[in-house]
Structure 1
Amino acid sequence: MKCFEYMGKELFAQFGIPVPSGRMVTTAEEAEKVAAEIGRPVVVKSQVLSGKRGKAGGIKFADTPEEAKDAAAEILSMTVQGHAVNRLLVEEKLKIESEIYVAITIDGASQAPVLITSAKGGMDIEEQAEEDIVKVHLDVFLGLQPYMAKDLARRIGLKGALAKGYSDVVQKMYRCMIEKDAELVEINPLVVSGDQVIAADAKVTIDDSALYRQKDIEYVDEDMTEIEKMARDAGIGSYVQLGGDIAVMANGAGITMGTLDMVQLFGGEPANFMDAGGGTGVEGTARAIEILLAQKPKVIFINIFGGITRCDDVAKALAYVKENKGIPVPVVVRMVGTNEEEGVKILQEVGIDAYRNMKEAAQKAVELSKAGEAQ
C-alpha cells in the first residue's frame, strides 16, 4: 500500500526524522489557516499517489496566507498525473542549499534490504550517473549499524554536523522500515538547510500482507481500481487488474503466474492476476467468479490444482453462479487433484468441460478469446 506524502511524514516524525512544519488539509480555507499558523512562506502540495507533481503544476509556493488559499483552490481543481486532487499538504518553505537522495527498499534478487543514496538528489534522480549513486545491501540480522551510516555519509561527501544528521536519519529510516513492515522508505530530497538535514518529501510503501498489524496507519485505496476494491472487500488478498480479455483465477501465487505466462505464450492477454488461495470454499469461490465477470472478459480461465482447495468446491461454485446468475462468456477449466472426479462430473452437468492438461486449457482459452476477432 502506497502512503500519501503527509502520511509518510507523520511516520517519519514518529521516528524522530526531521520534517517541515505543516499539516494536511482538504479545503482552501484550511490551507489559509495553516499558512497563518506557520507564519512564514509555505509550499502547497497536492497529495496524489504519483511522482512529478511539481512538473504537473501540483506544487505551488505562497508568501502569505491569502496566496496559500488561492494556490490551494487552484490545485484542488486540478487533475495531477490522472489523479483528482482531494488533499493538500501545507508546510513551511525550506531554505535549500543542496539535495540528497536516500531510499531503503527490498532487493528481490538478493532477498535483502538495499540502501540507495546520492549527494545529487531531486526531481531527476533517475538520470544520475551510476558513479554518483551508492548502493549497500543490508544484513537483516545485523541491521543498519551506526558505523555503516557514518560510512555512507563519508561516501557521499558529507562532513561534520551534516554527516551526523544524515547518519541519524538513515538509521531511523531503517527502523521505520522494519517496524512498519515497509517495502520502501524514500526521501527525495533530503534537504541540506544550514547545518541540518530535513525530509522535504516522503514516500513510504507498506507491505499489504502486513497491514493487519499496522492498524495505526490509515488505509489508502486510491491507487486501486473499483474491481480491485471489490476483490479486497471479498477477502481476496492477491488480485491485480491487468487490462486483457481473459479473466484468470488459480489457487496459489506460483500457479497463477504460470497461468498468466501460458496464456501470453499462446498469444492471449490476461485480464487480471487472481490468487484465490487455498481452502476458499464454495461461497468464496463464487464471489471470486463474480469479480472475474465484473471485468467483462471474453473468456474465463480457471486453473485449479486441488489440494486444500477441493475441485468439487470450485465446480459447485461455478455451477451455482451459472445456474443462478448466469455466465455470459465461455469458461475453460483445468482441474486436477482433490475430488477431481466429483468436480468434473458437476461441471459436465452444467455444460462445462474440464481439462487435465494446463497447456491444452490455455490454448483453448486463447482460441475462444480470439474467436470473435476472426469473424
Structure 2
Amino acid sequence: MLLLENTGKELLRAQGVRLPRGHLVKDDVEFRSAIVRFDGPVVLKAQILSGARGKNGGILFARNHDEASRAFLSLFESTVNGHVVKEILIEERLEILAERYMGVLVDSGDVWLLIGRDGGVDVEEASQRDPDSIVRIPIDFLRGIPSAEVFASCERLGLTEPQRFVNMAERLWKAFRAADATTAEINPVAELADGSLAALDSRVVVDDSALFRHPEHAQKQTCTNDGSLSPPLENLKELGGGKVLYAGIGGGIGLTIADWIADEGQNVAALLDIDDLILHHRTREGTLALLDRLDNDESLRVAFLNITTCGYDLAIVANDVFAALAARPRDRAKPVVFHFHGKGEDESRRLFDASGMRNFENLKSAITEVVSIASREAGK
C-alpha cells in the first residue's frame, strides 16, 4: 500500500527526520485556521495517491496569505491525475542550498540503500542520464546501515559533510522497518543553510502482507479519492507526425528519447508517462489502450516501452504488459520494442525468455531497433 505523503512524513518524524513545519487541512475553515500560523512563503500540496503532482498542478507555491488563499481555492476539490483533492498539506517553504535523493527499497529479496547526487527529479531519469550520480548500497537486515560504506559513498558523490547523510540514512532505515515497508524514499532531501538536512517529500509503500499490523494506515487513506478513474491515455502527449509510439516512466526522459530518435531519422508521434498507471495497478489497462492506438493507427509502425525503475517491481510490470500483449488481436499486431531494467530485473528476464520476446540490454540498441522498424515500408 502506498501511503499519502503526510502519513509517510509522520513515520519519518517519529524517527527524528527533520521536516518542514506543516499543517494538514480538509476544508476552508481548517485552512483559515492554519494559514495564520505561517509568516512567510508556503507550499500547498495535494494529498493524493499519485506521482508527478508537481508536473500536473498538484503542488502550488504562495508568497503570502493572499496568494495562499487563491492557491487553496484553486487546488481544493480540483482533480489532479484523476483524483479529487480532499486534503491539502500546507508547509513552510524552506531556503534550500541543494537537493539530494535517498531511498531504502527491497529488490529481489535484498534490501538496498540508494543515495542520489540529484534530488527533486525522477530518480529513474537521473539514473539513465548519469548512472554515476546514484549509488546502491546493500543493507544487512540484522546489522542495519553500513555507516562507513555510506560515508565513503557520499564522499564519492561529492556530498559535503557525509556524516549528515549517514545519520539520515539510519533514521530512514528505522522508519522503513517500523512501517514494514518495501519502499521508503525521501525525494528531495534538502540541504539547508544551517547545515541540516530535511525531508521535503516522502514516498512510503507498506508491504500488503503486513497491513494487519498497521490498520491506522488503511483508515487514513479512505478520504482522499472519490474512486473515479481517468482514461488510461489521458496523459498521452501528442507530438505530431512520426511512426513511433513511446511509453515509459518520466515525461522528461521521454522527451529526451524522442529527441534521440529524431536525431536518428525518425519521429515519435506521441509519448506516455506510464508512472501513474503502474502506481495504481493499471499497467495492463494502459498497455492495452496503447496497443490499440498502435494497431489501429495506420501512420504508426512500432511502440517503444522503456521502463527503468528503482521503485517498481519489473516482474509485476512485465507480467501486466505480457497479459495485454496476449489479449490484443494478432491479425494486426505491430512490433513492440522493450527496454526494461532495474528492480526485479532477474525475474523479469525470465519472463522475457519464457515469452520469447527480447529485452534490449541498453537504450542505444533499443533505439536502433525502433528506428530500423519505423524506417521499413508499411507491411514489411
Equivalent pair of 2:85/2:225 in contact (CA under 8 Å): no
Distance 1:205 1:73 in 2: 30
Q: What per-residue deviation string (whole Å, max 9, x for no partner) do you get for residues 132-189 of structure 1?
A: 11111212232213323323332322233xx232211111111111121001100110
Equivalent pair of 1:115/1:135 in contact (CA under 8 Å): yes
Distance 1:98 1:266 in 2: 43
TM-score scaled by structure 2? 0.57
Partner-residue secondary structure (3-state), 1:158: coil
Name the counterpart of 2:75. Answer: 75
Distance 1:100 1:45 in 2: 20
Name the counterpart of 1:189. Answer: 188
Considering only aligned residues, what root-mean-square deviation do their CA atoms show, in Å? Answer: 2.9
Q: What per-residue deviation string (whole Å, max 9, x for no partner) do you get for residues 173-211 of structure 1?
A: 111111210011001100111111110001111111111
Q: Which has the higher contact order (CA 8 A, sep 6+)?
A: 2
Shift, 1:36, TM fit: 1.4
Name the counterpart of 1:120. Answer: 118
Shift, 1:96, TM fit: 1.4
Distance 2:228 2:57 in 1: 27
Distance 1:214 1:8 in 2: 13
Name the counterpart of 1:36. Answer: 36
Equivalent pair of 1:191/1:199 in contact (CA under 8 Å): yes
Q: What per-residue deviation string (whole Å, max 9, x for no partner) do you get for residues 3-24 of structure 1?
A: 1111111111111001000011
Name the counterpart of 1:315. Answer: none
Structure 2 gaps, min length 5: 230-280, 289-315, 329-380
Shift, 1:267, TM fit: 4.3
One-letter amino acid matched to 1:158: L
Aligned residue pairs total: 239
User: Taking structure 1 as reference, are residues 58 and 264 closer, same or farther at Cα in structure 2, changes over 3 Å only?
Assistant: closer
User: Taking structure 1 as reference, are residues 91 and 82 closer, same or farther at Cα in structure 2, changes over 3 Å only?
Assistant: same
Equivalent pair of 2:84/2:226 in contact (CA under 8 Å): no
**Following TM superposition, where does structure 1 have runs of at least 4 consecutive aligned residues deviating by more than 3 angstroms?**
215-219, 221-227, 240-245, 263-269
User: Taking structure 1 as reference, are residues 177 and 224 closer, same or farther at Cα in structure 2, changes over 3 Å only?
Assistant: farther
Equivalent pair of 1:138/1:144 in contact (CA under 8 Å): yes
TM-score scaled by structure 1? 0.58
Shift, 1:79, TM fit: 1.1
Q: 1:27-106 to 2 correspondence within 5 Å?
A: 27-106=27-106
Partner-residue secondary structure (3-state), 2:37: helix
Partner-residue secondary structure (3-state), 1:103: strand
Shift, 1:46, TM fit: 0.8
User: Taking structure 1 as reference, are residues 18 and 267 closer, same or farther at Cα in structure 2, changes over 3 Å only?
Assistant: closer
One-letter amino acid matched to 2:182: E
User: Taking structure 1 as reference, are residues 174 and 214 closer, same or farther at Cα in structure 2, changes over 3 Å only?
Assistant: same
Partner-residue secondary structure (3-state), 2:103: strand
User: Taking structure 1 as reference, are residues 153 and 66 closer, same or farther at Cα in structure 2, changes over 3 Å only?
Assistant: same
Name the counterpart of 1:362. Answer: none
Distance 2:87 2:227 in 1: 19
Partner-residue secondary structure (3-state), 2:19: coil
Among all aligned residue pairs of Structure 1 and Structure 2, give the percentage whose two residues are the same amino acid: 30
Higher mean alpha-carbon deviation, 147-156 vs 186-195, is at 147-156
User: Taking structure 1 as reference, are residues 268 and 126 closer, same or farther at Cα in structure 2, changes over 3 Å only?
Assistant: closer
One-letter amino acid matched to 2:177: I
Shift, 1:90, TM fit: 0.2
Shift, 1:38, TM fit: 2.6
Distance 2:131 2:146 in 1: 25
Shift, 1:57, TM fit: 1.4
Name the counterpart of 1:316. Answer: none
Equivalent pair of 2:137/2:150 in contact (CA under 8 Å): no
User: Taking structure 1 as reference, are residues 72 and 226 closer, same or farther at Cα in structure 2, changes over 3 Å only?
Assistant: closer
Equivalent pair of 1:6/1:23 in contact (CA under 8 Å): no
One-letter amino acid matched to 1:125: V
Partner-residue secondary structure (3-state), 2:55: coil
